[in-house]
Chains A and B, each alone.
Chain A
């Protein structure tokens, strides 16, 4: 016998008979939800990697303070790589008798190779993407230069020996974002115009850049070629880190998406477990017959396992195809954000979809299916002999292992996965206990009630195993659906609220102590809501617990960078509203004079600063020492002013400081910013509106993407409902036929079925509300870091929705039985 051959034939038979449709549908939904999210996040992550290269305006940036050798360009051309040149240097522009220090950037044709420039044609016109560059004799200026020098579009500025007409305002250049807080305003001109300015003398502080772009393998080979030259004074950069603010927003979005996929998986495994149980009941005859005809137990097992795996592969492939379609829609939703083209899907999500399908089957179907090989052959004579009861140890073991692998793998977050699994297991245990209690409590009621009530109650209590399975299935299903509702409504809106419409979009830095009150007054009079003006002290960390801080102590590039640069240290009496103390404590009023610091948690981890460590900073040549009294988490994506290190007022108050503030400036109030810069020319204003719009767009579209994936969860919920009702189908077919033959009216049968299922659904809904509240509390606190509140209306909705939903679904499922002549049913029995 060829078991595979036979298994495939039986599979075809099952499909025709509709035996496996429920199981297959649950699998298709699980795989489709996983693969759509997998394909989607895979493509977005690779697009992000590509977009990260925008920080350099190319895939590779070669930088030197000397003109770069022509061989670099020649080699790039030989390798058919795109290339563009830029140079940058500080200089002074003159106009209307005033001078201003600026950063000149001269760019060649084809700049930027990655990303786009964004400009405005006038102060009031909208921002637009352009592929043009400043023409001969033209200069594009950063907006803040206009009020600073009283300039307007069309005016002329003098740079060295040449004059340039201001033709546009430059609002965004991709390679500028790497240094968002560049202090000196930008002027961009064409590279061909640079020579006639006469500014490129031997002593000029020019940085020369060559930007190169191409395919990853081309770039890798070119980079290797460059490195082999071993030239000194040349830096090669291919940074792959996007801006942290955007990455945070995308990561949060990704986490929601994966949670959505996880909820769909959770529901699907419930449906798979329920439908497998029914499959075993319905396939017991086949198993007995095969044994009777001489098949060994192992052969019967092989046939059913191969049948299951074949189904798994086919359903998973269908799921993968569906996932591909859905991810294309998701990409369509969010893809516009990406300036570069999103890479095509890779093969990995396809493989992971197939693995998911098989894992779901192994964890939730195999332990049931294995029972089929244990059906006694004598069943051919005695139909009451069925498969032995499932081993709970085997079932739980397989379920926990496969669900653990699936969730940790899919969510990529051990904490979230373990919380979901624990929640599910606790939920299952509670539901099983309650269902047993229910059966126990209902049994005596059967004799004290009459009519439909009696039949309805007896249906629940006469078969404890089926009632337990149904209540557990409905309960878990409703729990996950409630979680979906909470996550969709509460968590998503909370996420969006994390960056409300009036989040700060302007930063003012370099405010001198004497200007603080004036700036505050001007902004408040202009109707601006200020969170405060914060002191900013430049200081270098020189030792941690007496150990000199040195670049050589760190392998991590970020730590190396931090160890050599100046920090902006502040002092405060109270922590910022978006800061959270994670260890130690913030100083009280009586402790304001203690020599203490509070350090941002990420910085502390990177540099290895423990709580209680003694830090020494060098500020303006003086050493400031203090102990780390607390570690803080900071919401960097809130756009509030925040500092890595904050000291007590007593420790830092006397140090030389400038001030910084951030605030929200509506478009119609931009004149206020111009007035402020004219009044206080030394203040630097930074506009992050474009960056915030990008983040907001990601959040909005991300929310839409999450909601789209939740449709899978909804579909999976319906499958659970159907599978739960089908769990008692066989028994119901027989009983309905007998009761109708004995003369029970259809009306009474409908009422008894309604009572039975409504009671089950209502109770499942109530328990589910308790479970969902507990799990969402845990998720909001530990994973998403969002506020949570008890939602009593959800409890009422769960109770009524469960009762009505399951009740009506039960009636709909029972309807064909009520309309089939009893004789037809009896003949089939």
Chain B
């Protein structure tokens, strides 16, 4: 496990736990997770369905609150921030790519990419969005709506949207799971190319070993505990 001074690490988690109370008692989803991710590093988190991968991603991105332990993004403990504080921390610095693309259906590709730029107060969001789409190979698809794009193209729009504000961290949740092998491969290539170019931390949740192998590190989530590759 990478050991670096925490004030230089974009993402750290220590003693992270998530459990829920059910009628049959406490259900532990995540137990004592410790994680440090360095700048520019790509980390894959693998695990079976229901192992808690997405829950961990949500906690690391500040979308959910941990039952115990702490997550720090850019050395800021998320527990010290309220919802709005966490949102402000994400704005422009954290990007997301989802399995189901999460594009707004009534907005064009360009408008979808402009959205995080506008939220981050970017000076020329349209220009930056066009560049991002161009890098994703979609320069001719700027004004197409999601329904007019193929699955692969939609995910490329999602990648352009994620990278357009030059985030420091990108959280990706099964980004190729909804795509066929060939399209998935092309999307993965684009993902890693953009990640390398921007020196962004990538935390990728997947069950695809092939995809995970492209990362610097692979971690396995088993019975709520995070284990490094054997």
A2 — which chain B residues lie within 8 A by C-beta? Answer: 118
Say whether A297 contacts B84, CB under 8 Å. Answer: yes
**Considering only CB atoms and an 8 Å cut-off, how many residues of chain B contact the other chain?**
32
B111 near A294 with CB under 8 A, answer no
Q: Does A565 contact B (CB under 8 A)?
A: no
B116 lies within 8 A of A381 (CB):
no
Whether the pair A378, B102 counts as a contact (CB closer than 8 A) is no
| A378 CB contact (under 8 Å) in B64, B93, B94 | B64
Is A686 close to B, CB under 8 A? no
Complex: how many Å from CA A437 to CA B102? 40
**Bound state CA distance, A9 and B90, in angstroms?**
23
**Chain A hits for B54, CB < 8 A:** 381-382
A234 on the interface (CB 8 Å rule)?
Answer: no
User: Quick one: CB contact mask for B101-142 with A, threshold 8 Å, 1 for yes?
Assistant: 010111100010001101111000000000000000000000
CB pair A297 B87 closer than 8 Å: yes
In the complex the two chains form, is A292's CB within 8 Å of B118's CB? no
In chain A, what residue has the closest Cβ to B57? A381
User: B87 and A291: CB pair below 8 A?
Assistant: yes
Judging by beta carbons under 8 Å apart, are A286 and B104 in contact?
A: yes
Q: Which residues of A contact B84 (CB under 8 A)?
A: 296-298
Type the 1/0 row for A1-32, where 1 means its CB is closer than 8 Å to any CB of B.
11001100110111111010000000000000
Q: Determine the chain A residues whose CB is within 8 A of the CB of B153 once the complex forms.
A: none
Check if A294 sits within 8 Å of B88, measured CB to CB.
yes
Question: Is A68 part of the contact surface with B, judged by Cβ < 8 Å?
Answer: no
Shortest Cβ distance from residue A716 to the other chain B in the assembled complex, whole angstroms: 27
Contact A16 B173 (CB under 8 A): no
Selected from B63, B89, B92, B104, the residue in CB contact (under 8 A) with A380 is B63
CA distance A66 to B86 in the complex (A): 90
Q: How far is the CB of B152 from chain A (nearest CB, A)?
A: 15
Residues of A within 8 Å of B116, CB to CB, are 293-294
B residues in contact with A19, CB < 8 Å: 106
Asked if B83 is at the interface of the complex by the 8 Å CB criterion, the answer is yes
Q: Note all chain A residues with C-beta closer than 8 A to B87.
A: 291, 294-297, 377
Question: Chain A: which residue is nearest B118 at the CB level?
Answer: A1
Tell whether B163 is near chain A: CB-to-CB under 8 Å.
Answer: no
A54 near B: Cβ within 8 Å? no
Interface residues of B in 45-83 (CB under 8 A from A): 54-55, 57-58, 61, 63-64, 83
Is A581 in contact with chain B by the CB < 8 A criterion? no
Q: Is B220 positioned at the interface, with any CB of A under 8 Å from its CB?
A: no
Docked-complex contact B102 and A380, CB < 8 angstroms = yes
A9 in contact with B107 given A289-B102, A297-B84 (CB within 8 Å): yes
Shortest distance in angstroms between A730's beta carbon and chain B's nearest beta carbon?
15
Q: Which of A298, A299, A380 contacts B98 (CB 8 A)?
A: A380
Shortest C-beta distance, A293 to chain B (Å), equals 4
Query: When the two chains form their complex, are residues B91 and A294 in contact, meaning their CB atoms are under 8 A apart?
Result: yes
A19–B107 Cα distance when bound, in Å, is 13
**Complex-state Cα separation, A13 to B115, whole angstroms:** 13
A294 and B119: CB pair below 8 A?
Answer: yes
Q: A1-B119, A5-B118 are in contact. Are A296 and B63 (CB under 8 A)?
A: no
Please determine whether B63 and A377 come into contact, CB atoms closer than 8 angstroms. yes
Complex-state Cα separation, A13 to B105, whole angstroms: 8
Provide the bound-state CA to CA distance between A778 and B21, in Å: 53
Decide if A13 touches B107 in the complex (CB within 8 Å): yes
Q: A293-B91, A294-B94 are in contact. Are A9 and B63 (CB under 8 A)?
A: no
User: Cα distance A15–B105 when bound, in Å?
Assistant: 12
Q: Which of A246-299 contact B (CB under 8 A)?
A: 285-286, 289-299
Q: Assuming A377-B87, A378-B58, is B98 touching A16 (CB within 8 A)?
A: no
User: In the assembled complex, which residues on chain A have CB atoms less than 8 Å from the CB atom of B121?
Assistant: 1
Question: Is the Cβ of A16 less than 8 Å from the Cβ of B106?
Answer: yes
Q: How far is the CA of A382 from the CA of B98 in the complex (A)?
A: 12
A376 interface hit (Cβ, 8 Å): yes
* Measured CA separation A289–B115 after assembly (Å): 10
Q: Which residue of B lies closest to A300 (CB)?
A: B87
Q: Which residue of A lies closest to B91 (CB)?
A: A294
User: From B145, which residue of chain A is reached at the shortest CB distance?
Assistant: A16
List the A side residues contacting B93 at CB < 8 Å. 294
In the complex, the chain A residue whose C-beta lies closest to that of B96 is: A292
A2's nearest neighbour on chain B, judged by CB, is: B118
In the complex, A291→B86 CA distance in Å? Answer: 9
Residues of chain A with a CB closer than 8 A to B118's CB: 1-2, 5-6
Report Cα–Cα, A182/B74, bound state, in Å.
Answer: 97
Contact A293 B119 (CB under 8 A): yes
Contact at B91–A295, with CB atoms within 8 Å? yes
| Residue contact A293 to B106, C-beta cutoff 8 Å | no
Q: Which residues of A contact B90 (CB under 8 A)?
A: 292-294
Which residues of chain B (146-200) have a CB below 8 Å from chain A? 173
Q: Which residues of A contact B106 (CB under 8 A)?
A: 10, 12-17, 19
- CB pair B104–A299 under 8 Å, yes or no, is no
User: Quick one: given A294-B119, A378-B58, are A17 and B105 in contact (CB under 8 Å)?
Assistant: yes
Residue of B nearest to A385 (CB): B64
What CA separation (Å) do A249 and B45 show in the bound complex?
Answer: 80
Q: Is the CB of B107 within 8 A of A296?
A: no
Q: How far is the CA of A295 from the CA of B115 in the complex (A)?
A: 10
Q: Nearest chain-B residue to A14 (Cβ)?
A: B106
Residues in A whose Cβ lies below 8 Å from that of B115: 6, 290, 293
Kindly state the separation between the CA atoms of A13 and B107 in the bound complex, as whole angstroms. Answer: 6
Distance (Å) between the CB of A307 and the closest chain B CB? 12
B88 touching A376, Cβ below 8 Å: no
Q: Measured between alpha carbons, how far is A381 from B58 in the docked complex, in Å?
A: 8
Judging by beta carbons under 8 Å apart, are B88 and A296 in contact? yes
- Shortest A654–chain B CB gap in Å is 89
Most buried by B among A13, A286, A292, A298: A292
Q: Which of A5, A297, A377, A382 has the most CB of B within 10 A?
A: A377
Task: Answer whether A376 and B111 are a contact pair too, CB < 8 Å, given A2-B118, A290-B119, A381-B54.
Answer: no
Closest-CB distance, A150 to chain B (whole angstroms): 87
Give chain B residues whose Cβ lies under 8 Å from the Cβ of A382.
54, 58
* CA distance in complex: A513, B54 (Å): 103
Of all chain B residues, the one with the shortest Cβ separation from A17 is B106
Give Cα A439 to B89, complex, Å. Answer: 45
Question: Do residues B119 and A285 form an inter-chain contact, with CB atoms below 8 A?
Answer: no
Q: A380 contacts which chain B residues (CB < 8 A)?
A: 63, 96, 98, 102
Take A13-B106, A380-B102 as given contacts and tell me if A294 and B63 are in contact as well, using a CB distance cutoff of 8 Å.
no
Interface centre among B87, B96, B111 (most CB of A within 10 A): B87
- Set of chain B residues within 8 Å of A295, measured between Cβ atoms: 87, 91, 119
Please, which residues of chain B bring their CB within 8 A of the CB of A297? 83-84, 87
Taking the closest CB of chain B, its distance from the CB of A572, in whole angstroms, is: 75
Chain A nearest CB, measured from B205 CB (Å): 9
Contacts of A378 in B (CB 8 A): 58, 63-64
Say how far A1's CB is from chain B's closest CB, in angstroms.
Answer: 5
B80 to chain A, nearest CB (A): 16
Bound form: Cα–Cα A289–B94 in Å? 13
Complex interface bits, A296-328 against B, C-beta within 8 A gives 1, otherwise 0: 111100000000000000000000000000000
Contacts of B58 in A (CB 8 A): 378, 381-382
Interface 0/1 of A461-483, CB less than 8 Å to B: 00000000000000000000000
A291 to B92: give the CA distance in the assembly, Å: 12
Known A9-B111, A377-B87, A381-B54: A294·B98 in contact at CB below 8 Å: no
- Distance between A828 CB and nearest chain B CB, rounded to angstroms: 10
The 3 closest A-B pairs by CB, nearest first: A294-B91, A13-B106, A294-B90
11 inter-chain pairs at a CB distance below 8 angstroms, sorted by A residue, are A2-B118, A10-B107, A12-B106, A15-B106, A17-B105, A17-B106, A294-B87, A294-B90, A378-B58, A378-B63, A382-B54
Beyond A9-B111, A10-B107, A294-B87, list 9 extra A-B contacts (CB 8 Å). Answer: A1-B120, A12-B106, A16-B106, A291-B87, A293-B90, A294-B92, A298-B84, A376-B63, A378-B64
Q: What is B's interface to A at a CB cutoff of 8 Å?
A: 54-55, 57-58, 61, 63-64, 83-84, 87-94, 96, 98, 102, 104-107, 111, 115-116, 118-121, 173
